[in-house]
Amino acid sequence: MSDIWIVLLIVVIVLLFTVPVAQQQMVRTRRLRAIRDLETERRTRVIALIHRQERIGFLGIPLFRYIDINDSEEVLRAIRLTPPDMPIDLVVHTPGGLILSSEQIAMALRRHRGKVTIFVPHYAMSGGTLLCLAADEVAMDENAVLGPVDPRIGEYPAASILRVPRLKPPEEIEDRTFILVDIAAKAQNQMRQFVTVLLRDRMDAERADRLSRLLTQGTWTHDYPITFEEARDLGLPVTPGMPAGIYRLMDLFPQAMPRRPSVAYVPVPYQGEEKKG
């Protein structure tokens, strides 16, 4: 009898490890199929840069994702595998990430000869917005948002650090703060120059410089949502609307569910009330 329980325990342990792996592989296959369907429909290279918190393994450990070096390496590789004149569709859903990685992707998109369209179904903040500045067109859902690209030094905005010498006399400022002020000034200038270069492809130098300062010098908080209407008024190449295939692709990148979901609805489209005869 004890042998049976041992066998059952082994089976349960094996299932705990193999079932999540099999489920993840099935989801990956469905994602690739959805991407291929979009490519066939639009005759483009489709690249998905989607960061959502997903649970992994049998423990359900959540992963917090952002743009990192691995992302830039993969996106750059996808661009290299794309013919120079072939259009690229980049689906971006991200809170941002490393400046280095974001700038590498932005430069690669800017150099690509074919048309580059970025789709923002929900949000592309910080580094995600930096990618949008390098695109020929940014297609946004009517409720999607972009964000400022002002740099941060650790946990603090560079713009806020630069205010310290204006608010306190030098003798009351620590040496470490002076170092942070110097780094913040360099980071802000570097980001402003980079954004200006991206913008000068589609607007005059004076307007590009003004917009780059607006986006990089702490005009808003770092999480300020730039709506479609505001982005359009700023002169960014945004267009409304989103192909249905983009939403289908997003459905295959589920957010990690808490034990008690805070949002519930019937997941089917409604056609409106029928007219009574």
Model confidence pLDDT, tens digit, residues 60-86: 444 557 899 999 999 999 999 999 999
3-state secondary structure the chain: CHHHHHHHHHHHHHHHHHHHHHHHHHHHHHHHHHHHHHHHHHCCEEEEEECCCEEECCCCEEECCCECHHHHHHHHHHHHCCCCCCCEEEEEEECCECHHHHHHHHHHHHHCCCCEEEEECCEECCHHHHHHHCCCEEEECCCCEECCCCCEECCEEHHHHHHHHHHCCHHHCCHHHHHHHHHHHHHHHHHHHHHHHHHCCCCCHHHHHHHHHHHHCCCCCCCCCEEHHHHHHHCCCEEECCCHHHHHHHHCCCCCCCCCCCCCCCCCCCCCCCCCC
Q: What angle do CA 267, 268, 271 make, to 5 degrees?
A: 145
Average pLDDT in the chain:
86
Q: What percent of the chain has pLDDT over 90?
A: 69
Predicted local distance difference test score (pLDDT) of residue 202: 82
Residues 6 or more apart from 86 whose CB is under 8 A from it? Answer: 44, 45, 114
Q: Report how far Cα 113 is from the mean position of its chain's Cα atoms.
A: 23
Q: Which residue has the tokens 């808003």?
A: 220
Q: Of the ranges 45-54, 115-124, 167-176, 222-231, which one carries the lowest mean pLDDT score?
A: 45-54
Domain 8-143+238-257 is in which class?
alpha beta
Tokens of 28: 């990956």
Whether residue 126 contacts residue 222, with contact meaning beta carbons closer than 8 Å, is answered with yes
Predicted local distance difference test score (pLDDT) of residue 62: 47
pTM more than 0.95:
no
Helix 175-199 × helix 99-111 angle, to 10°: 10
How does pLDDT run across 142-159, given as a tens digit for each residue? 999 999 999 999 889 999
How does pLDDT run across 182-222, given as a tens digit for each residue? 999 999 999 999 999 999 888 888 999 999 999 999 999 99
Q: Report how far Cα 25 is from the mean position of its chain's Cα atoms.
A: 23
Predicted local distance difference test score (pLDDT) of residue 277: 46
CA dihedral (138, 103, 93, 204) in degrees, to 10, reads -20
Between 136 and 58, the more confident residue is: 136
**Domains of the chain: which residue ranges?**
8-143+238-257, 148-224
How does pLDDT run across 221-274, given as a tens digit for each residue? 999 999 999 999 999 999 999 999 999 999 888 765 555 556 666 767 777 655
Predicted local distance difference test score (pLDDT) of residue 29: 85
